[in-house]
Amino acid sequence: MIDFKSLKLRVDVTYSFVGIKKQDDIVCFHLPKGFDEKISELETFSAKRDLFFLFYKTLTSFKDICIEKGYLEEDSELSTQDRDGVIKSAKGSAIANDANDSENIFYSKLDIIGSLLNAYDEPKILALAYRLGRSDKIDISQIYRYLHQAVYLNNNAAYVDQMLLSRQVVQFESTDIVTMYCYIFCEIKQQLKEIINVETMALAERFRQHYIGSQYSLFQEQNYEQVLDILRDALEIIDNNTVIKDVDYWLYYESIEIFLYGDWNQAQNGEIWGIKNFYSVWESMCLTYLAQTVDPALLVYLDDCYVSSQALRRVESTTKVINLSHVFQVNGSQLIPDAIVLTSITSQFQDEKTYRISANTTWNDYSYKTIITGIGHPGSKVAYINQSYEHTLEKLKEFYVIDQRGGIIIDAPLPPNFYSFWEMPDQLDPECFYKMKYFNHLFYLALERGIIDWNSLFEKILQPLGIVLSYAIAIQE
């Protein structure tokens, strides 16, 4: 069990290891660079507990990515010391194909948490928890199976007092080891903020009520030592009263024993749990965040070395605005940037703006009145789907405030069924893009969807709106 009260926090700016290390009989939790300014605020029991589980979850996710990528070389050599089967030491797991000076090594000489979580097998747990038991209930349809065990009365009647029927009652001894495992499992999962199966929670609660009580918690500073003593006593009682100990029993017993009796103070000096060269974990977190949050069309390059396949599916789901597949091959060498993100012009729009527009009736498009003034371009046109012959401005009055001179105040982007068009100036500035966004300019819609060629613009935007250009074929040619 981890003693968070005595665990020391350290930040070494010249040391790339992050995790638990023992040196000169002192067990320290080495944190990444940057934590040194806040380390005094993290010296409480709850803060150290939360930090450990946060890093445990982070390193586990990173290790899963390395396993998925095939980078991990497991060392299966195990040794024991002190209590048999309790302290298990391993050399660690290294990421293959890295240079010696930047090698990433996972250390898990004593993975108290992992050994217990890895034993979780829901079907096996439920099968062990709900076993067949003797029942006083009699199933008449099954009576013929028990005639050889029946007591025959003087009138030749057969008397059966018990049957072997299924019943969902947790039996003492054979199944208490399972409920105890479920209790510790749920306590850890709650610290990791992960979902727990309802059946597993029910079994855990049954153990809590029988042995511990609802007012105590395993990872609370006020009572964790008391709960730990109760669990150790319960494990001894269960072990002494369990007659049949099969493979499943020893699976859960050993994982509980390692958790309860495993002590980092018993381990030899050196790295106990963690990872050498934490930079790769930090890189994985940053790139995974980009993969999950940035518009895939604008994320034109991403180093996928430490990014999971699930995150990469989103990145690869959209055609990129620019193809950079062969850009980084320079003089026979391959350059590998971490990521390249194109900044959307909309990110420069900070404050909402207001435009006053009015109708211009001096020119019509085949009897449709679409010309407006107030944007700054004399040929600005705004139209809406299924427009009538009245001016567009009359329809817009349903959505915006009308000023005293008969115009309207545009203080929010046009509704989705309104579109605009005007000729673009030679030099585009943020103000121009802002107007294009506000008035649903057709070219802006193309930019939002990553459309950069005429054919795609015509097929994906203009044609669906019913726009037919007489010179479209000549332009395509």
Between 86-100, 317-331, 423-437, 453-467, the lowest mean confidence (pLDDT) is in 86-100
Is the pLDDT confidence value at 48 over 60? yes
Better pLDDT: 313 or 113:
313
Is the pLDDT confidence value at 410 over 80? yes
Task: Specify the long-range contacts of residues 44-53, CB closer than 8 Å, at least 24 apart.
Answer: 45/4, 45/5, 45/221, 46/221, 48/4, 48/7, 48/9, 49/4, 49/191, 49/219, 50/191, 51/9, 52/2, 52/4, 52/7, 53/191, 53/192
Is the pLDDT confidence value at 162 over 50? yes
Instruction: Classify residue 393 by burial, with Cβ atoms within 10 Å: 0-12, 13-18, 19+.
Output: buried
In this prediction, residue 290 carries a pLDDT of 94
In this prediction, residue 474 carries a pLDDT of 43
Is the pLDDT confidence value at 224 over 60? yes
Q: How far apart are CA 131 and CA 164, in angstroms?
A: 11
Q: For residue range 255-286, list pLDDT tens digits in order.
A: 898 888 876 666 677 888 888 888 889 999 99
Q: For residue range 289-312, list pLDDT tens digits in order.
A: 999 998 888 888 899 889 999 999
Percent of the chain scoring above 90 in pLDDT: 22
Cβ-Cβ contacts under 8 Å for 380 (sequence gap 6 or more): 371, 372, 373, 420, 421, 422, 439
Question: What Å distances lie between residue 413 and 325, 332, 419, 420, 451, CA to CA?
Answer: 36, 49, 11, 12, 21
pLDDT band for 349, please (50, 70, 90 cuts): low
In this prediction, residue 165 carries a pLDDT of 41
Cβ-Cβ contacts under 8 Å for 84 (sequence gap 6 or more): none
Decide if 341 contacts 318 (C-beta within 8 A): no
Residue 150 C-alpha from the chain's centroid: 59
Q: What is the mean pLDDT of residues 41-48?
A: 91
pLDDT band for 432, please (50, 70, 90 cuts): confident
Q: How far apart are CA 14 and CA 12, in angstroms?
A: 5
Q: How far apart are CA 395 and CA 427, in angstroms?
A: 32
Q: For residue range 350-369, list pLDDT tens digits in order.
A: 567 788 999 888 877 888 89
In this prediction, residue 110 carries a pLDDT of 63
In this prediction, residue 102 carries a pLDDT of 54
Decide if 358 contacts 372 (C-beta within 8 A): yes
Is the pLDDT confidence value at 477 over 50? no
Is the pLDDT confidence value at 83 over 50? no
Q: For residue range 130-151, list pLDDT tens digits in order.
A: 654 444 455 566 666 666 667 6
Q: How far apart are CA 64 and CA 307, in angstroms?
A: 10
Cβ-Cβ contacts under 8 Å for 108 (sequence gap 6 or more): 90, 92, 93, 114, 273
Q: What is the mean pLDDT of residues 362-385?
A: 87
Mean per-residue pLDDT over the chain, rounded = 79
pLDDT band for 37, please (50, 70, 90 cuts): confident
Question: What Å distances lie between residue 366 and 363, 369, 370, 388, 393, CA to CA?
Answer: 9, 8, 10, 12, 17
| 0.75 exceeded by pTM | no
pLDDT band for 89, please (50, 70, 90 cuts): very low
In this prediction, residue 91 carries a pLDDT of 41
Between 142-146, 166-170, 342-346, 431-435, the lowest mean confidence (pLDDT) is in 166-170
Best mean pLDDT range from 4-8, 33-37, 121-125, 231-235: 231-235
Q: How far apart are CA 280 and CA 286, in angstroms?
A: 10
Cβ-Cβ contacts under 8 Å for 198 (sequence gap 6 or more): none
In this prediction, residue 406 carries a pLDDT of 83
Q: What is the mean pLDDT of residues 37-61?
A: 90
Q: How far apart are CA 323 and CA 301, in angstroms?
A: 9
pLDDT band for 103, please (50, 70, 90 cuts): low
In this prediction, residue 270 carries a pLDDT of 81
pLDDT band for 82, please (50, 70, 90 cuts): very low
